[in-house]
Structure 1
Amino acid sequence: MKAFVAGATGATGSRIVKQLVSRGVPVVAFVRDAAAARSQLPIEVTLAEGDVTDKDSIRRAITLEGRSSTSGGCTVLISATGARPGFDPTAPYQVDFEGNKNLVDVAKETGIEHFVMVSSLCVSRFFHPLNLFFLILYWKQQAEAYLQASGLTYTIVRPGGLKDDDTDSRALIMAPADTLFEGSVSREKVAQTCVEALYLPQSRNKIVEIVAQENANPQPYEALFAGVA
């Protein structure tokens, strides 16, 4: 396994990278600025500059400057990319939809075996307040649909409100699409869920929604994924 991580310097993406490195998985981190990323990510990580809105730069990074996936390129892909809060009304469309669409297209071209996408709770609720931010949930849902229709093996992870507390001891709750509509979860648990998905056949071709709850019964990831139809 060799992992390609888009959004690798983000608050969730960087945790995903560290989880993969801790398991000995070679990682190509797709970043906009390699010099800035070098101080944020483990030294073992290969940095590849580019932008999710530039399909050619994705292609070069995934295939390691033109080599096929069978001769050193990436075999799995985790997308933790997302538009940053700001005043650009096109950002969610460009990053959350077009960016993920580009990742899916290149993943198909290059033989990616498993595509994991970090999305969001409540993407199916068009009138959710977060859609006031230039339809960000709507465009995430369109990206989900594009991945589902692609023919790739996929896992879509929809976390609740993201917390930076890596010591959060609450147990993880996992449910099928459009089941959970409130709750929070640590970014560390989101990262763990994404990485576990790569190893577990129970995760394949599923949308899973995750939050953490007090007094919930802790379960292994195999059981959590298996419990989602």
Structure 2
Amino acid sequence: MVRDVYKAQRLPQIRGCEYVKADLYNYEAVRNALGDCNVVICAIGARAFPLDILKTYQVEYEGVINLVSAAKNQGNLKKFILISTIGATYLQLVPLIFWKKQAELYLQRSGLDYTIVRPGGLRNTAEPEQVVMQGADSQFFGGISRQKVAEVCTSALISADASHKIVEVISLSGTQRRSVVDLFKSV
């Protein structure tokens, strides 16, 4: 589900992935867009700057609520992965992070099989560094490439050890190389 199908189609193609345009603020549109989808990786996000508190609430909370509710009511979903942010528990005075945390709580109470991925600061460049994964509320800073976050999310789809977990991820050089699936086992 994307805002701009044309823009999404310029991304590298993913086998079995279909781009559908839908308005996250419209529950029926979200429900229809999900169709018979059996996994959701939710990577939506409001812009941090310039700050628009209403838009932040609408995207980070209402949008996620509509997506979680539609996925639950659809009845076919095997996994819901929500990309949130590092520090979601402790930085509640920041509106963007406050609403991300509220969306996390809604997903946790939904009854769906979920993984919440809290990445550090996102970078656009791929790097040779290794993923460092820890449980909720254990990391407070660090960065990670969007590509590595995507690897974490796709690994969560195939790892039973990722179910009902919140993981915080950054990447560092000089750390032991381990598969992301193995990292889920250790959290």
Among candidates 100, 108, 113, match of residue 148 of structure 1: 108
1:183-194 to 2 correspondences below 5 Å: 183-194=142-153
* SS in structure 2 of the partner of residue 59 of structure 1: helix
* SS in structure 1 of the partner of residue 61 of structure 2: helix
Structure 2 CA distance for partners of 1:181 and 1:49, relative to 1, 3 Å: same
How far apart are residue 40 of structure 1 and its match? 3.7
> Is residue 50 from structure 1 mapped to residue 19 from structure 2 by the alignment?
no
How far apart are residue 92 of structure 1 and its match? 1.4
2:53 corresponds in structure 1 to 89
Could you give the per-residue CA deviations for residues 27-86 of structure 1, whole angstroms, max 9, x where no partner exists?
xxx1223234333453864331112111111111111xxxxxxxxx21011100011233
2:4 & 2:171 partners in 1: Cα distance?
A: 33
* SS in structure 2 of the partner of residue 91 of structure 1: helix
Structure 2 CA distance for partners of 1:55 and 1:37, relative to 1, 3 Å: same
Give the superposed CA RMSD: 1.6
Q: TM-score, normalising length from structure 2?
A: 0.92
* SS in structure 1 of the partner of residue 177 of structure 2: coil
Among candidates 120, 129, 136, match of residue 160 of structure 1: 120
Q: Which runs of 4+ in 1 moved over 4 A?
A: none
Among candidates 183, 190, 196, match of residue 155 of structure 2: 196
1:31 & 1:222 partners in 2: Cα distance?
A: 28
Could you give the per-residue CA deviations for residues 190-210 of structure 1, whole angstroms, max 9, x where no partner exists?
000001100010100000000
* SS in structure 2 of the partner of residue 138 of structure 1: helix
Structure 2 CA distance for partners of 1:214 and 1:147, relative to 1, 3 Å: same
Structure 2 CA distance for partners of 1:140 and 1:31, relative to 1, 3 Å: same
* SS in structure 2 of the partner of residue 162 of structure 1: strand
* Paired residue type of 2:109: A
1:62 corresponds in structure 2 to 34
Contact 2:92–2:98 (8 Å) recurs in 1: no
* Paired residue type of 1:138: F
Fraction of identical pairs, as percent: 38
Among candidates 99, 104, 113, match of residue 139 of structure 1: 99
**Unaligned stretches of 5+ residues in structure 2:** none
Among candidates 36, 39, 43, match of residue 10 of structure 2: 39
1:87 & 1:197 partners in 2: Cα distance?
A: 31
Q: What is the number of equivalent residue pairs in this alignment?
A: 184
* Paired residue type of 1:183: G
Structure 2 CA distance for partners of 1:43 and 1:155, relative to 1, 3 Å: closer
How far apart are residue 127 of structure 1 and its match? 5.8
2:30 & 2:92 partners in 1: Cα distance?
A: 33
